[in-house]
Amino acid sequence: MGANESWVTESLLVGFWLSTEMEALLFWIFTLLYTISILVNGIILGLIYLDPRLHTPLYYFLSHLAVLDMSYASTNVPKMLVNLMSHTRTISFGSCIMQTFLYLGFAATECLVLAAMFYDRYVAICHPLHYTVIMSWRVCMALAVTSGSFGFILSMVHAILLLRLPFCGPWAVNHLFCEILSVLNLACGDTWLNRVVLLAACVFVLVAPLSLMLVSYVNILWAILRIQSREGRAKAFSTCSSHLCVVGLFFGIAILVYMVPDSNQREEQEKMLSLFHSLFNPVLNPIIYSLRNTQMQAAFHRALQKRTTGGTASQTVGLV
């Protein structure tokens, strides 16, 4: 570095330029959404764990999706809530890099898990007679482990490339959290390699899986139309439409943020899109994919009945 450069130890998260009253209102709205996302995804995890009828590959991947939704929301939303009620809005350089690493790792892993869920539905609809052989528990675990490994390996590469860059003060990240593009804009050195690697990672975890899914959906739709039972067709369409909604929201927003050419006018739009990813996606995913699912609803009713029956039995024993 040059003589006039110094290592940054603390940075400022700019966030939105709002009045104190508006920030207080957003604090309570964001807190409510974050709490709902944690509770709903936690309920889904509990139901899948407790109900043996949900111990299938589809719900195995749904449990991973719930964990990932809670995890990547928790990497930045708590700090975002603190900043809304604080006038300093500072974050240490180490915490900023760690936040970037975790957010990218969980987000990339979720992209690959969604691709694995698509593969599960593709096999179930297009190759139903071989489903149990193809989607064995060993294959499911391998897909889940591979998704997490690739996601965090890519995230580690981004973090290492960030750490090699010189950053000069004063340092203010024009975002709600330490998002990688906003951090790269503040580097004093050449970020060409970082941006090329980020683009390559987006092609690997976004464009390639999304293209494969969209092309393969032609085969899925053709297989659904050949199902004789109306109930079977409706169930298959419901599952596929739910998956398409989740994929469209998650992949679409990520492509807009990371692959559309950047400009100064897009900074505020990118904040809103990232906010949607962090706050609204973890709430919408379980509603779209799980709570609309009849099997999940049945599991919830069985859990309530079991608790009610257990409570009634305990009261009866106490009276005796």
Identity of the residue numbered 175: H
For residue 90 the two structure tokens come to 């500072």
Specify the pLDDT at position 262.
65
Residue 42: alpha-carbon gap to chain centroid? 15
pTM of this prediction? Answer: 0.86
What CA–CA distance (Å, rounded) separates 81 from 83? 5
What CA–CA distance (Å, rounded) separates 37 from 187? 34
Contact 136, 157 (CB under 8 A): no
Specify the pLDDT at position 1.
40
Contact 30, 274 (CB under 8 A): no
The class that CATH gives domain 10-309 is: mainly alpha
What CA–CA distance (Å, rounded) separates 244 from 68? 18
Specify the pLDDT at position 57.
92
Contact 178, 13 (CB under 8 A): yes
Contact 71, 45 (CB under 8 A): no
User: Domain boundaries in the chain?
Assistant: 10-309
What CA–CA distance (Å, rounded) separates 64 from 209? 18
Radius of gyration of the chain (CA): 22
pLDDT digit string (tens) for the chain, length 320 residues = 444 444 556 677 777 777 778 888 888 999 999 999 999 999 889 888 888 888 999 899 999 999 999 998 899 899 888 888 876 778 888 888 899 999 999 999 999 999 998 899 889 888 888 999 999 999 999 999 999 999 999 999 999 999 888 877 667 787 888 888 888 888 888 889 999 999 999 999 999 998 888 888 888 888 777 777 777 777 777 777 777 888 888 888 888 888 876 655 566 777 788 888 888 888 888 887 766 677 777 777 787 777 676 555 444 444 44
Q: What is the 3-state secondary structure (H, E, C) of the chain?
A: CCCCCCCCCEEEECCCCCCHHHHHHHHHHHHHHHHHHHHHHHHHHHHHHHCHHHCCHHHHHHHHHHHHHHHHHHCCHHHHHHHHCCCCCEEEHHHHHHHHHHHHHHHHHHHHHHHHHHHHHHHHHHCHHHHHHHCCHHHHHHHHHHHHHHHHHHHHHHHHHHHCCCECCCCEECCCCCCHHHHHCCECCCCHHHHHHHHHHHHHHHHHHHHHHHHHHHHHHHHHHCCCCHHHHHHHHHHHHHHHHHHHHHHHHHHHHHHCCCCHHHHHHHHHHHHHHHHHHHHHHHHHHHHCCHHHHHHHHHHHHHHHHHHHHHHHHHHC
